[in-house]
Chain A
Amino acid sequence: DTEVTQTPKHLVMGMTNKKSLKCEQHMGHRAMYWYKQKAKKPPELMFVYSYEKLSINESVPSRFSPECPNSSLLNLHLHALQPEDSALYLCASSQDTGGFGDEQYFGPGTRLTVT
């Protein structure tokens, strides 16, 4: 199984809503990532979890709250988002955060629209 799954595929939420994005992998990878991607732009790194601990936070606003309940799951909790937060949110995983096994497997993304 070389797949990273993300749910939901699409999400529309109001600025006062609370929602969560979910990501799952069963490849035994110990590093997981959240990216944000605007249309026709490269993905922008948001968070990196290594061995279930947050290792990188790229100065992401607190309205985005990541959570790694176990080595296979990664959540992104959303609260009080702004319309400009509308984007494709990508999850990825890799064997580790360094070394040869750093090839990242990406999920298909959750397309988020904030109204």
Chain B
Amino acid sequence: DQQVKQNSPSLSVQEGRISILNCDYTNSMFDYFLWYKKYPAEGPTFLISISSIKDKNEDGRFTVFLNKSAKHLSLHIVPSQPGDSAVYFCAASSSDMRFGAGTRLTVKP
């Protein structure tokens, strides 16, 4: 079963606007959540994480929000840049790691 779901396989935004990537999970035992960015033929690059004891974590243009009651997290990128175009994976961990299938973000100049 897919415990971590990214329901949007793709997202396209204009440069300078906000990109919002969403992720839902089903296992309430997850205590740590991560976002990865991935370019073709490369391994995932860690982007930002959040512990289950927090509801927001910000790092530069990237902010992750966690809503535990809804079992939902999101990644906001503001402002979006063409170099942000990649596949973004949401991941959740407890005793192991579960990844979503990814969302392909395209930022148009």
Residues of A within 8 A of B (CB): 2, 9, 33, 35, 37, 40-45, 48, 56, 58, 88, 90, 92, 97-100, 102-106, 108-109, 111
Contact = CB atoms under 8 A, between A and B. Distances in A.
Contacts of B2: 2
A103 B102 contact: yes
A86 to B, nearest CB: 14
Contacts of A43: 36, 43-44, 97
B42 A88 contact: no
A45 B38 CA distance: 12
Given A35-B43, A44-B43, A104-B89, A88 B102 contact: no
B9 A103 contact: yes
B97 A109 contact: yes
B104 A37 contact: no
A108 B96 contact: yes
Question: Which 7 A-B pairs have CB atoms at the shortest separation, nearest pair first?
Answer: A45-B43, A42-B46, A103-B102, A106-B99, A98-B40, A109-B96, A97-B41
B87 interface: yes
Size bracket of the B interface: 20 to 34
Contact of A40 (B32, B38, B42): B32
B98 A106 contact: yes
Nearest to A100: B104
A88 B101 contact: no
Interface in B1-35: 2, 9, 32, 34
Nearest to A31: B41
A85 B34 CA distance: 23
Nearest to A50: B41
